């Protein structure tokens, strides 16, 4: 029987090192600034260092077999990050339960949504958890092969967020980003 509980950054770190070699191992992500197209100045500080991160582990007995983390950025936009399940435990909805914990934490912290940047291969797991695929309009123009996925918690809050973000784009005359 797999059980789930909060863990620390020190506990999650070895699993991230084992399974997520390309990911930054900081407790929160340094990714996520929208830069002015001409000056390269940050337009939109995601405040990624301000929210205290939460780490979750899935355990088979005492053995840690899956992890995820989350932290607030941009005030009420919650980031899910570092989802990983050990290979011989995959396909048992363990990742979905870890996402469920992260969404619950986002809701607890009064986020309007929980978003992530999954690989295309991992997206099916997110889709099962009702994450929606987003275009590169969502948040910022970060070029990568990963995709933007978002679970909406507060629909009116998300409408306000989009209105604010898009008006900011037109203020600076930013080119409309190409859709993925």
Ligand X SMILES: CC(C)(COP(=O)(O)OP(=O)(O)OC[C@H]1O[C@@H](n2cnc3c(N)ncnc32)[C@H](O)[C@@H]1OP(=O)(O)O)[C@@H](O)C(=O)NCCC(=O)NCCS
**In terms of CB distance, is 19 or 177 closer to ligand X?**
19
Q: Is residue 19 part of the contact set for ligand X (CB under 6 A)?
A: yes
Q: Is residue 90 part of the contact set for ligand X (CB under 6 A)?
A: yes
Q: Is residue 8 part of the contact set for ligand X (CB under 6 A)?
A: no
Least Å distance, CB 146 to ligand X, is 7
Q: Tally DSSP H helices, then E strands, for the chain.
A: 4, 9
Which 3 state secondary structure label does DSSP give 173?
A: coil
Q: Is residue 125 part of the contact set for ligand X (CB under 6 A)?
A: yes
Site string for ligand X, 22-61 (x = CB under 6 A): ----------------------------------------
Burial-class residue 18 by CB neighbours within 10 Å (0-12, 13-18, 19+). exposed
Backbone dihedral angles phi then psi of residue 37, each to the nearest 5 degrees: -60, -25
**Cα angle at 177 between 21 and 149, to 5 degrees?**
45
For ligand X, the binding residues (CB under 6 A) are 19, 83-85, 90-96, 118-119, 122, 124-125, 128
């Amino acid at each position: 029987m797999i059980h789930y509980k909060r863990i620390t950054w020190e506990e999650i770190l070895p699993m991230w090192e084992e399974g997520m070699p390309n990911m930054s191992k900081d407790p929160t992500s340094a990714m996520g600034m929208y830069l002015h197209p001409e000056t390269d100045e940050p337009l939109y500080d995601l405040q990624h260092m301000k929210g205290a991160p939460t780490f979750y582990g899935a355990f088979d007995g005492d053995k840690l077999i899956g992890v995820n983390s989350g932290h607030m950025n941009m005030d009420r936009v919650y980031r899910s990050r570092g989802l990983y399940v050990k290979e011989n435990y995959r396909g048992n909805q363990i990742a979905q339960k870890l996402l469920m914990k992260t969404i619950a934490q986002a809701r607890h912290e009064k986020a309007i949504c929980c978003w992530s940047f999954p690989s295309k291969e991992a997206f099916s797991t997110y889709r099962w958890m009702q994450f929606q695929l987003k275009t590169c309009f969502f948040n910022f123009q970060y070029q990568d092969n990963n995709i933007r996925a978002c679970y909406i918690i507060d629909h009116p809050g998300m409408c306000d967020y989009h209105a604010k973000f898009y008006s900011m784009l037109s203020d600076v005359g930013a080119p409309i980003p190409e859709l993925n």
